[in-house]
Structure 1
């Protein structure tokens, strides 16, 4: 048995598990919801039409009906509003989202979109995420928040649409450009997970069989493939988080939508990269140590064989001289 193979084996197992969690986090309601890539807070979405009380044309309620609705909200919560509508707090934000027919938050995961409400309310510090539903799990999922919001607004109590709340088209246009990067990330995670799984099996072979440097080299190759795949995927995720949140906050804050990075997801994916890097280094060390030991054994054998031949030659010379 090669006990030194246990360390890279453990690293490969940890990287495999963490990568799987990165891939499947949020694939069903309540499963690692806090490990999202990006979350949108839409609890105050539409506050910009509270004072104007206007609507778009088409099969939507009249300006009078929407005006009455918002006037009612303004009347009921007047004691909690200071200066303007941006001062909405607590249950006011909860009521606004409910009356529009949308959820208070939407979270992007690698293979789906989840939505829900805040508990106890939208503005409570440290409020927890109460998941309502998640979309169907799909490989290479495309994040289309505009379509989701528009659908919910249209079937909501007011039957309005995104144009009513002046939803900026730049948000979805920018997100569409990032969807290709998300597709690449999915593929890279899949490669990293597959290579890590193969590395686990190869490490077991190295553990039970006191193998040659070839086994160490093969393990190093698998660990390197997994490491590079996870590294590139993590870099892409980091860039996507930054660009998506900046984009949404730039165009969406004015109408009451805010985006946040999933810090826990970042920690998860970068820890997977780190442990796979350690596994790769361990196999490099194994390969180098094996090479050095093999060279030492060869030198010792050569020395023994050379001394034996020298001794036999000396004995033969003595016999020929009659000694």
Structure 2
């Protein structure tokens, strides 16, 4: 059964929190699945797609793209030690995410930084499933049991830089070149990262028994973005909303990220390697915050009386 937090963005901005250990039940309440002391979810290398990230004429400052992400869980850790390896004595877990960001392009189009686009939708979802999602096909990441979801709170940083000296290289360099696109697909070479904070809005208490109703909980996700793909297969499909099972095609053309001056807009695909940690309020934080907000209310009322 899902629990729902009562949230306000203004409260979250004012709240002081700290990363704390939590409990994950990898069997969803069945015997033998309780993993205590978890601080980090370490995701296996996965895929990210900037929808509209390679438009005709090149990406320009002010352009808005949707970044989609999907990956399988690797391990649960306490920051130093592996507490659980996905699928060993329990279920596997997948993550999908998506949000809109606005580009600032410099250095002749070689560098791009991004900020969150206001008043747009976002999603972050974790699923429990008997089998991993299929990285090559890009399916199976949303077909399990939904156990946690959230929305984007902030983008601390998001960037990508192309290395022109490296030229273009084979896009799929992970094992056999079996990418589900043109067989000789190339890519620019580059790297970047994203640093995001997501507000957890719902969770399944059978899987996250230590979360409490009313807690203001966030997850920080840090991810590297690189091209070409050397640690995982590039996906052919992505989920547009964290529910659909692969409804967005990669659509990167014959050269991922290469400048194009004519034709339809293309996407830009990256290998993404992420980890996430959970932050919950410190004991007493909410009470202190409530007192502070109460004092602010009294101060405002006093100002109105004095003005009258």
| TM bucket, shorter chain | under 0.3
- The TM-score normalised by the length of structure 2 is 0.26
More relative contact order, 1 or 2 (CA 8 Å, 6+ apart): 1
When you count helix as a share of all residues, which structure comes out higher? Answer: 1
More strand by share: 2
